[in-house]
Structure 1
Amino acid sequence: MPRSSFAGSLSTPKVDVVIDTGNPFFNLTVDGFLKIGTVAATRVAAEETYHIVKSGSLKHQNFEHSLKKMCKEGAYWGTVAGVYVGMEYGMERIRGTRDWKNAMLGGVLTGAIISVASKGKGDKIVTDAITGGAIATAAEFLNYLT
Structure 2
Amino acid sequence: MPRAGFSAGSPKVDVVIDMGNPLLNRTVDGFLKIGAVGACRVAAEDAFECLHKGSVSKNKLEQTLKKMCKEGAYWGTVAGVYVGVAYGVERVRGRYDWKNALIGGAVTGALISVAGNGKADKIAKDAITGGAIATAVEFINYLT
Look up the SS of the partner of 2:15 in the other structure: coil
Equivalent residues in 2 for 1:132-143 (5 A)?
A: 132-143=130-141
CA distance in structure 2 between the partners assigned to 1:16 and 1:77 by the alignment: 22
Aligned to 1:35: 33
Equivalent residues in 2 for 1:1-146 (5 A)?
A: 13=7, 16-146=14-144
Aligned to 2:3: none
Which 4+ residue blocks in structure 1 deviate beyond 2 angstroms? Answer: 12-18
**Unaligned runs of at least 5 residues, structure 1:** 1-11
Look up the SS of the partner of 1:103 in the other structure: helix
CA distance in structure 1 between the partners assigned to 2:16 and 2:83 by the alignment: 15
Amino acid at match of 1:115: S
CA distance in structure 2 between the partners assigned to 1:69 and 1:61 by the alignment: 12
Look up the SS of the partner of 1:45 in the other structure: helix
Amino acid at match of 2:60: N
CA distance in structure 2 between the partners assigned to 1:143 and 1:16 by the alignment: 24
Amino acid at match of 1:75: A
Amino acid at match of 2:90: E
State the Cα distance separating 1:15 from its structure 2 match: 6.3
Change (3 A) 1:16 1:144: farther
Amino acid at match of 2:58: H
Q: Is the 8 A contact 1:33 1:79 kept in 2?
A: yes
State the Cα distance separating 1:57 from its structure 2 match: 1.0
Change (3 A) 1:121 1:20: same
CA distance in structure 2 between the partners assigned to 1:66 and 1:15 by the alignment: 26
